[in-house]
Structures are given as C-alpha cells and as structure tokens.
Amino acid sequence: MGRKFAWLAGWLAGAVLFASPAFAADTASAVLKDPQGKEIGKATLAATPSGTLLTLELTAAPPGAHGFHIHTTGKCEPPDFASAGGHFNPDETKHGILNPEGPHAGDMPNIHVPENGKLTVEVLNPLVTLSKESALLDEDGSALLIHADADDYMTDPAGHAGGRIACGVITP
C-alpha cells in the first residue's frame, strides 16, 4: 500500500505543478502571416529541460524548401519583415549548423512544405529559452520567420535563404 500511496502523491504533485501559473509561463506562441497579412500557420513553443520545443503547424504556406529561423525582434512589419532584425544570436557566432564557427541560436533546420501548403513539424532548439539566459521573451521580443529559399546551413548571415515570406511574433 505504501508504494501505491507514494506513486499517487508523486502524480498529484506533478498535476499541481502542471496546473501552476509558473508552468504556464514556460509556453509561448506565434501566428505566422504572409506579407499580405494572410495567416499561413501557427507555432507553439514550450520550455523543456533540453531547450525550447517548437511545434509549427502550417495550413497555407508556399510549397518547397524554406529556411526557418528565430529573429531578434518581436516585430513583423510587412512587406519584407525587416523589422524582425537578424537571426537571434546572443553568442555572436557565425550562421549555420554546418559552419565550424556557428550556429546562431536562432538557426533551425529547413522545412519542406508539400504542394497542399500543410505541414506539421517539431523542432527542439537547445540554444534558446523562453526566459532566463538566451531568452526569446526579452524586452523587444523575438519572431519566427520563414524564408523563400532553403538555408545552406553555412553562409553568413542567413544561409542564402532568400527573402522573408512569413513572420510571427512570439508572445507569452
């Protein structure tokens, strides 16, 4: 009976932790829109002990391979989304997961959108947090961007990923 009680007590403690407001602060989201303001998808971000887990759910994205990055500023002013700044890079490294002097903290794998424009992917980014050090939810926020072309994972500053075709401000 003692083991069952210990298990139940642990489960209840976990349930209380899961429901606590502090846990809720460890999540964020973003609505991605194209330059015309049309919603093309959403992202959810969740803090984990290993980094930030991003779940991207696209519903109307342009087909093809696209660079997918976190940018430094939480602004998405069309048409070019330049207001989002460069890649999130608190350690001032070079761009690219294949670059020996990289990557930027905001560098993530390319996404490959099928012809129907719908895609769901999960990406674990171990280099960013929602709060604390390397925080995406800092004073000026940050944004998720999808680029027109695939990232080459090497070339500074953005992997020849082309123009910015979708942007979403990350919000708590």
Peptide bond into 103 cis (omega under 30): yes
What is the structure's pLDDT at 4? Answer: 33
What does the H/E/C string look like for the chain?
Answer: CHHHHHHHHHHHHHHHHHHCHHHHCCEEEEEEECCCCCEEEEEEEEEECCEEEEEEEECCCCCEEECEEEECCCCCCCCCCHHHCCECCCCCCCCCCCCCCCCCCCECCCEEECCCCCEEEEEEECCCECCCCCECCCCCCCEEEEECCCCCCCCCCCCCCCCEEEEEECEC
What is the structure's pLDDT at 63? Answer: 97
pLDDT, tens digit, 9 for 90 and up, residues 18-34: 333 344 359 999 999 99
C-alpha separations of 86 from 26, 62, 133, 143, 159 in Å: 24, 22, 19, 10, 12
pLDDT, tens digit, 9 for 90 and up, residues 77-106: 999 999 999 999 999 999 999 999 999 999
Q: If you average pLDDT over every residue of the chain, what do you get? A: 86
CB atoms within 10 A of CB 130: 20
**Which pLDDT band, with edges at 50, 70 and 90, does 120 fall under?**
very high
What is the structure's pLDDT at 132? Answer: 77
